[in-house]
A and B are shown apart, each in its own frame.
Chain A
Amino acid sequence: MNILVCISHVPDTTAKINFTADGSALDPAGVQFVINPYDEFGLTKALHIKEAQGATITVLNVGGPETEPTLRKALAIGADQAVRINATPTDAITVAKSIKNHIQANAYDLIICGQESIDYNGQQVPAMVAAFLDLPFVNACVGLDINGGSATAKAEIDGGHASYSCSLPMVVGGKKGLVEEKDLRIPNMRGIMTARTKPLAVEEGEGGSHTAAVSFAKPAAKSAVKLVPADQVNELVRLLHEESKSI
């Protein structure tokens, strides 16, 4: 079984976000980049499948050379090989086209993405990859069972859950639940050593883009909190009604 895990390279969740002085882009100074948290669940799920029934796991990122440490980390966690598609990830559709081209040139049985990249919060790439390839797609996937050539998947939907089945290959947009948080793996020493010699191929990707980031700004700073004494809860109710008009 061949599994592709698509990984985006994003600022650590604790990172303070700043933009360049002209507001045109993220200022990467002082920001630590990590495997997108949603993709960590996907990678661990792939390892579980590999351990249960055998599989080759390829991790893929569309990005510049600066993302290679993130791919090496995925190799250290247990992926077998990595591919970096050398293209600037200008927008989701361009990234998805690059991923589609790679999938068409290689036979994968399962394509695992995360539900969302926590940098640009697109929630676009996995659905686009599935649409380009005309493959079944389960988003917000919180459970996946592979049985031979088919799968059953559980998804979060608004206010509840749904369960689906389909034949492979399929595309998944995964999140916590695909595996549990306690099952997430961190690289150990042996993993880090072997990762150095695992293959990391570089392929060329698509260019062009359909959208353009005009500018970035930080949200306006909040004014200081209004504290209400704990024995005057009625005052809070009044403020919520008369001042903020929330109730």
Chain B
Amino acid sequence: MIVVFVESWNNQFKKASFEAVSYARSWANMAGCGVRAITSASAENANQLTQYGADEIATLELAQTGAGIGAQLAGLVGDAQGVVVAGTALGKIVAPTLAALTSGALSTNTTGTPTSTSPVTVERGAFSSKGIETISLNNGLPIISFVPNAIGIKEAAGAGTMTSAEAAGTDKLTTNEVSIASGKVALPEAEIVVSAGRGLKGPENWGMIEELADVLGAATACSKPVSDIGWRPHSEHVGQTGIQVNPNLYIAVGISGAIQHLAGVSASKTIVAINTDPEAPFFKAADYGIVGDAFEVVPQLIEELRAFKAAN
């Protein structure tokens, strides 16, 4: 049995939740076993996990914190051959907690499904995307935390038996407040990211970046100096010392492409750079580029995309 922890937000599943089930299904197919999804009792329509390959869907009253949930899972994975957790903010606490409590073998930042199951072997990002590590999970329960968007969502029919579970796990933190910007695409799991740098000259010019993101259904991001000067919130800073993104499309506007910035974005499948300077290092990392002034190119791009969306 491959066990997958399926996260929900405000009782809804996220894209990374379905991707986690897809990941578990691929692994289970290789290992010749079933998939047990574990999720919150308050998640709406938990049975929809069936269509991504869950054979059993166990629901329980989840603890509030990642550490509490990790402790609960430790009590539920006794017979598992492997565990899958999406590398979301919560998953990044759940997975190592579970690994510590079960003395398991954990791969985080995993970028693909297993290439072998004896021992379980996967590829993962290391050195901030400057390297690819092949790691084998030799000793203890294999646990895989994958980068959102690593494999995408795949439909696959599972048996979908609903069960309920109980497990102890205490929260050691009192949660005082949780505030989430509504309607915004969360950066780490965004499929498209529109990012801008110091080339935009000032925070008042971000309107067109937000508009471009809006047309594309994208998340917005920025370079480090932009968040350091306070033009944009810290939570948008991508790069080696910020958030690492893994979208299908990354559009960089007025960003030079310093090595520390590229470290956080070079896992993107397609990169577009828009920069006035033909020598900007970003053009070496990009698939497509426009040498031009953002203040002219971006409004045109918004217009062309609107026309494209209307026609398609």
**B176 and A233 contacting across the interface, CB-CB below 8 Å:** no
Other-chain contact of A164, B88, B174, B284, B293 (Cβ < 8 Å): B174
**A159 and B289 contacting across the interface, CB-CB below 8 Å:** no
**A131 and B100 contacting across the interface, CB-CB below 8 Å:** yes
**Interface locus among B27-35, B39-47, B159-167, B264-272:** B264-272
**A121 and B67 contacting across the interface, CB-CB below 8 Å:** no
Q: Which single residue of chain A is at the shortest CB-CB distance from B87? A: A123
Q: Does A161 contact B (CB under 8 A)?
A: yes
**Chain B proximity mask over A1-37: 1 for CB below 8 Å, otherwise 0:** 0000000000101101101000000100000000001
In the complex, chain B residues 37-74 whose Cβ is within 8 Å of any chain A Cβ: 65-67, 70-71
Given contacts A96-B100, A137-B67, A236-B290, contact A158 B189 (CB under 8 A): yes
Q: Which single residue of chain B is at the shortest CB-CB distance from A175? A: B241
Nearest-neighbour CB distance to chain A for B99, whole angstroms, equals 6
Q: Does A190 contact B (CB under 8 A)?
A: no
**A210 and B103 contacting across the interface, CB-CB below 8 Å:** yes
Docked complex Cα distance between A53 and B189 (Å): 41
**A233 and B240 contacting across the interface, CB-CB below 8 Å:** no
**Chain A proximity mask over B225-261: 1 for CB below 8 Å, otherwise 0:** 0001000001101001100100011000000000110
**B106 and A210 contacting across the interface, CB-CB below 8 Å:** yes
Nearest-neighbour CB distance to chain B for A15, whole angstroms, equals 8
**A140 and B89 contacting across the interface, CB-CB below 8 Å:** yes
Q: Which of A210, A212, A223 counts the most chain B CB atoms within 10 A? A: A210
Q: Does A225 contact B (CB under 8 A)?
A: yes
Other-chain contact of B173, A164, A229, A233 (Cβ < 8 Å): A164
**A127 and B174 contacting across the interface, CB-CB below 8 Å:** no
Q: Does B133 contact A (CB under 8 A)?
A: yes
Other-chain contact of A93, B99, B173, B180, B186 (Cβ < 8 Å): B99
Docked complex Cα distance between A17 and B132 (Å): 11
Chain B residues whose C-beta falls within 8 Å of the C-beta of A210 in the assembled complex: 99, 103-106, 137-140
Q: Does B121 contact A (CB under 8 A)?
A: yes
**Chain A proximity mask over B187-209: 1 for CB below 8 Å, otherwise 0:** 11100100000000000000000
Chain A residues whose C-beta falls within 8 Å of the C-beta of B297 in the assembled complex: 230, 233
Chain A residues whose C-beta falls within 8 Å of the C-beta of B90 in the assembled complex: 157-158
**Chain B proximity mask over A180-197: 1 for CB below 8 Å, otherwise 0:** 010000000000000000
In the complex, chain A residues 137-182 whose Cβ is within 8 Å of any chain B Cβ: 137-140, 142, 152, 156-166, 175-177, 181
**B97 and A218 contacting across the interface, CB-CB below 8 Å:** no
Q: Which single residue of chain B is at the shortest CB-CB distance from A130? A: B67
**A123 and B96 contacting across the interface, CB-CB below 8 Å:** yes
Q: Does B131 contact A (CB under 8 A)?
A: yes
Nearest-neighbour CB distance to chain B for A245, whole angstroms, equals 8
Q: Does A52 contact B (CB under 8 A)?
A: no
**A176 and B176 contacting across the interface, CB-CB below 8 Å:** no
**A14 and B178 contacting across the interface, CB-CB below 8 Å:** no
Chain A residues whose C-beta falls within 8 Å of the C-beta of B272 in the assembled complex: 236, 240
In the complex, chain B residues 1-37 whose Cβ is within 8 Å of any chain A Cβ: 9
**B180 and A211 contacting across the interface, CB-CB below 8 Å:** no
Docked complex Cα distance between A209 and B128 (Å): 23
Q: Does B125 contact A (CB under 8 A)?
A: yes
Given contacts A162-B178, A210-B106, A210-B139, contact A237 B241 (CB under 8 A): no
Docked complex Cα distance between A37 and B285 (Å): 24
**B100 and A165 contacting across the interface, CB-CB below 8 Å:** no
**A11 and B127 contacting across the interface, CB-CB below 8 Å:** yes
Nearest-neighbour CB distance to chain A for B91, whole angstroms, equals 10
Other-chain contact of A120, B71, B97, B126, B285 (Cβ < 8 Å): B126
Docked complex Cα distance between A119 and B124 (Å): 12
Docked complex Cα distance between A216 and B136 (Å): 12
Chain B residues whose C-beta falls within 8 Å of the C-beta of A16 in the assembled complex: 130
Q: Does B77 contact A (CB under 8 A)?
A: no
**B292 and A230 contacting across the interface, CB-CB below 8 Å:** yes
Q: Does A135 contact B (CB under 8 A)?
A: yes
- Known A124-B95, A130-B67; further 14 A-B contacts with Cβ < 8 A: A13-B260, A92-B106, A120-B127, A121-B127, A124-B108, A128-B97, A137-B172, A159-B180, A160-B180, A162-B177, A225-B273, A228-B288, A240-B249, A244-B270
Return 14 A-B CB contacts under 8 Å, by A number: A13-B260, A92-B96, A96-B100, A121-B244, A158-B9, A158-B180, A159-B184, A162-B177, A163-B175, A222-B284, A225-B288, A230-B292, A244-B249, A246-B270
